Amino acid sequence: MMHTTAAGTCPPLSAEHFQRQALLCQWLATLLARELDEPTLQAYLAGDAAPLLDWLAEDGLAAEARRLRQALATLSLLAQPRLELAADFATLFLGDARHCAAPYASCYLSERGGFMAEPAQRMAERLADAGVAPAEDFNEPADHLAVMLDYLAGGYRQLAETRTPAERDSALAGIGQFLRQELCSWLPAFSQRAARLAPASAFYPALAALTEAFCRHRLAEAETT
């Protein structure tokens, strides 16, 4: 996904703020769903990710945004950036769940650390209740991080459409509960696993750290409102 709107501040807890969070959730979900294709990679190398990273920096995630920005800047130093990034994606996210940074909640929250456990069932129920389903070309369990971030984006879009303080507070409480129970409960371990691996580029470890910090930041916002 590419977005080129100029970054700028927006009032906290405004419709614009929540729309921005939805967009950032979807961007992170896109990056975690599959390897970057060549056109998207070239767009990012040309600076198309800068506005999104600026938004994150404005919102208190300057260190994490700077780390991902620096990782993007060094991709051009790789002999074959797209192929080496694809190899990194496979190493970090598609390997043995016991040793890689598997992007599934079940691998961290279930008793045996396996796939398709209670977190996947809970997430599937959430999706069914919301009347949504993962894209047909994305054949992953419901507790894949990209699916969960896309669901969170939908929550922020709904939040942006609330009309009264009571509606906003109720919707924000629901988002806070989802973040606390279903994302922030395992993303630190996910980020730590990614940091321990040694891919060709720092891109995906930086992305994992940014995603964890973003969700933690959103939880703090929901709980202090």
- Whether 34 is in a domain gets the answer yes
Residue type, 216: R
3-state secondary structure of 209: helix
Q: Phi/psi of residue 184, each to 5°?
A: -70, -10
pLDDT in tens, 122-149: 999 999 998 887 777 788 999 999 999 9
Q: Quote the pLDDT of residue 8.
A: 61
- pLDDT higher than 90, residue 99: no
Partners of 144 in the β-ladder:
104
Task: Read off the tokens for 64.
Answer: 């994490």
- pLDDT higher than 90, residue 219: yes
CA 213, CA 216: separation in Å to the nearest integer?
5
Q: How far is CA 214 from its chain centroid?
A: 8
- pLDDT higher than 70, residue 1: no
- Nearest-10 Cα torsion for 108, 109, 110, 115: -50
Higher pLDDT, 87 or 9: 87
- Whether 6 is in a domain gets the answer no
DSSP letter at 6 equals P
Sign of the alpha-carbon dihedral angle for 175, 176, 182, 183? positive
Q: Quote the pLDDT of residue 66.
A: 98
Exposure string for 93-131, b = 16+ CB within 10 A, e = fewer = beeebeebbbbbbbbbbbeeeeeebebbebbbebbeeee
How many domains is the chain partitioned into structurally? Answer: 1
The predicted model gives 8-32 an average pLDDT of 91
Domain span holding position 58: 15-224
The predicted model gives 56-80 an average pLDDT of 95
Mean pLDDT is lowest, of 72-81, 100-109, 130-139, for 130-139
CA 8, CA 59: separation in Å to the nearest integer?
11
The predicted model gives 2-18 an average pLDDT of 68
- Whether 125 is in a domain gets the answer yes
Q: Quote the pLDDT of residue 136.
A: 75
Q: How far is CA 142 from CA 59, 114, 115, 132, 186, in A?
A: 29, 14, 11, 11, 15
Task: Read off the tokens for 59.
Answer: 């919102």
What CATH number is attached to the domain comprising 24?
Answer: 1.10.3480.10
CB 181 within 8 A of CB 166: no
CA 31, CA 89: separation in Å to the nearest integer?
10
Q: Quote the pLDDT of residue 113.
A: 65
CB 31 within 8 A of CB 207: yes
Question: What residues contact 125, with CB distance under 8 A and at least 6 apart?
Answer: none
pLDDT in tens, 37-55: 999 999 999 999 999 999 9
**pTM metric for this prediction:** 0.93
- Whether 151 is in a domain gets the answer yes
Q: How confident is the model at residue 2 (pLDDT cuts 50, 70, 90)?
A: very low
- Whether 1 is in a domain gets the answer no
- pLDDT higher than 90, residue 194: yes
Q: Quote the pLDDT of residue 6.
A: 43
pLDDT in tens, 159-187: 999 999 999 999 999 999 999 999 999 99
